[in-house]
Structure 1
Amino acid sequence: MSFNSLPLVLIPGLLCDARLWAHQRSVLENSTQICIPDVSQDSSIAQMAERTLDEAPPFFALAALSMGGYVAMEIMRKAPERVLKLALLDTMVRPDDEARAKARRGLLALAQLGRFKGVTPQLLPKLVHPRCIGTAIADSVQGMAEAVGKEGFVRQQLAIIDRPDYRPLLKSVVVPTLIVVGENDEITPPEESEEIHRGIPHSRLVVLPQCGHLPPLEHPNLTTLLLSRWLEDSLHA
Structure 2
Amino acid sequence: MTTVVLLPGLICDHANWAAQQEALLDAGYETLIIDYGNADTIAHMAKIVLSQAPEQFIVIGHSMGGRVALEVVRQASERVTALILMDTGYLPLAQNQQGQQEVAGRMALVEQAQRDGMRAMGELWMQGMVLPEHLQDQQLCNAILDMIERKTPEQFANQQHALIDRPNARAVLSALTCPTCFICGDQDAWSPLERHHEMARLVPGAPPVFSIKNSGHMSTMEQPESVNDVILSWLQTL
1:154 match: 157
In structure 2, the residue corresponding to 1:185 is in which secondary structure? Answer: coil
* 1:41 to partner: Cα distance: 2.4
Q: Distance in 1 between matches of 2:34 and 2:130?
A: 23
Alignment-mate amino acid for residue 19 of structure 1? A
- The reply to whether residue 90 of structure 1 matches residue 67 of structure 2 is no
Report the more deviating stretch, 189-198 or 56-65: 189-198
State TM-score, norm by structure 2: 0.90
RMSD: 1.7
The answer to which of 219-228 and 95-104 deviates more is 95-104
Distance of 1:40 and 1:89 partners within structure 2: 21
Give aligned pairs, total: 229
Task: Go from structure 1 to structure 2 and tell me whether the alpha carbon gap of 1:46 and 1:167 turns closer, same or farther (over 3 Å shift).
Answer: same
* Matching residue of 1:11: 7
Misfit runs of 4+, over 4 Å: none
Matched, 1:201 2:199: no
Structure 1 residues 162-209: Cα deviation after superposition (integer angstroms, max 9, x where no partner): 111111221101211110111111111122212211111231101122
* Equivalent residue in structure 1 for 2:223, among 219, 226, 231: 219
1:96-115 mapped onto 2 (5 Å cutoff)? 96-97=93-94, 98=99, 99-111=101-113, 113-115=114-116
Give the Å deviation of 1:126: 0.7
Q: Secondary structure at the match of 1:15?
A: coil
Alignment of structure 1 residues 137-152 onto 2, 5 Å: 137-152=140-155
Query: What does the per-residue CA deviation read over 1:95-122, in whole Å, with 9 as the maximum and x for residues that have no partner?
Result: 12212233223333454x5344445434
Secondary structure at 1:121's aligned position in 2?
Answer: helix
Going by fraction, where is helix more abundant, 1 or 2? 2
Q: Is the 8 A contact 1:40 1:153 kept in 2?
A: no
Q: Give 1:189's match in structure 2, choosing from 189, 192, 202.
A: 192
When residues 123 and 102 of structure 1 are mapped into structure 2, their CA distance, relative to the original with a 3 A threshold, is: closer
What corresponds to 1:126 in structure 2? Answer: 128
Measured in 2, the distance between the counterparts of 1:116 and 1:107 equals 10
Could you tell me which residue of structure 1 aligns to residue 180 of structure 2? 177
> Could you tell me which residue of structure 2 aligns to residue 41 of structure 1?
38
* Percent identity for Structure 1 against Structure 2: 31
Give the 3-state SS of the residue equivalent to 1:123 in structure 2: helix
**CA–CA distance in structure 1, aligned partners of residues 146 and 87 of structure 2:** 20
Encode CA deviations 1:91-148: one digit per residue, 9 max, x unaligned.
000112212233223333454x534444543432311112311321111111110001
Separation in 1 of the partners of 2:24 and 2:142? 24
Structure 2 distance, partners of 1:212, 1:16, is 16
> What is the Cα deviation at residue 159 of structure 1?
1.1
